[in-house]
């Protein structure tokens, strides 16, 4: 469940999209497909951001935030849910929850987040990696 504060996203500016896990792949027009439960469906835990184990302090533009934790749940129906906990400059922990429809072509993924854009991702074995606005997020099942 998402925690709502009166102005946390205004304080972090463009970082909101980063931690909304807005995922993007340009030019991909494949239709979403049902994922193979044995290979993809399940819960993936955020292990690192930009090569830093959690909790990780990362800089995005002029903002510095601490990413505390994250989970990516991939469903067998081609949807996913990302939940990320982070601390922006305001000092308050924010939990951001977003849902997406996934388009899969081999290991390449396009995740279309509801209200938060799209992002590139790859799934290799039990490791899901995505590049989100220049930062690399690595999740492990």
Please report the pLDDT score of residue 36 as a whole number: 53
**3-class DSSP assignment, residue 18:** helix
Beta strand spans in 23-116 (E): 42-49, 52-53, 56-60, 63-74, 79-87, 94-105, 108-113
Give pLDDT, residue 34: 45
Indicate the CATH number for domain 8-24+38-140: 2.40.128.300
Mean pLDDT by 10 residues, the chain (141 residues): 40 43 36 54 96 93 92 91 93 94 86 89 92 90 94
**pTM, 2 dp:** 0.74
Domain boundaries, the chain: 8-24+38-140
Phi, psi of 56 (to 5 degrees): -120, 130
CA nearest neighbour of 25 among 106, 111, 101, 105: 111
């Amino acid at each position: 469940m998402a925690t709502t504060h009166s102005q946390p996203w205004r304080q972090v500016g463009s970082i909101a999209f980063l931690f909304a896990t807005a995922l993007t792949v340009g030019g991909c027009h494949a239709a979403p497909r049902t994922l193979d439960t044995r290979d993809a469906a399940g819960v993936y835990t955020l292990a690192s951001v930009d090569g830093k184990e959690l909790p990780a302090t990362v800089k995005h533009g002029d903002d510095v935030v601490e990413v505390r934790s994250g989970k990516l749940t991939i469903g067998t129906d081609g949807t996913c849910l990302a939940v990320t906990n982070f601390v922006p400059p305001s000092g308050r922990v924010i939990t951001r929850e977003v849902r997406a429809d996934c388009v899969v072509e081999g290991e390449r993924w396009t995740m279309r987040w509801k209200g938060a854009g799209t992002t590139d991702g790859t799934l290799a074995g039990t490791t899901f990696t995505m590049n989100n606005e220049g930062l690399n997020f690595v999740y492990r099942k």
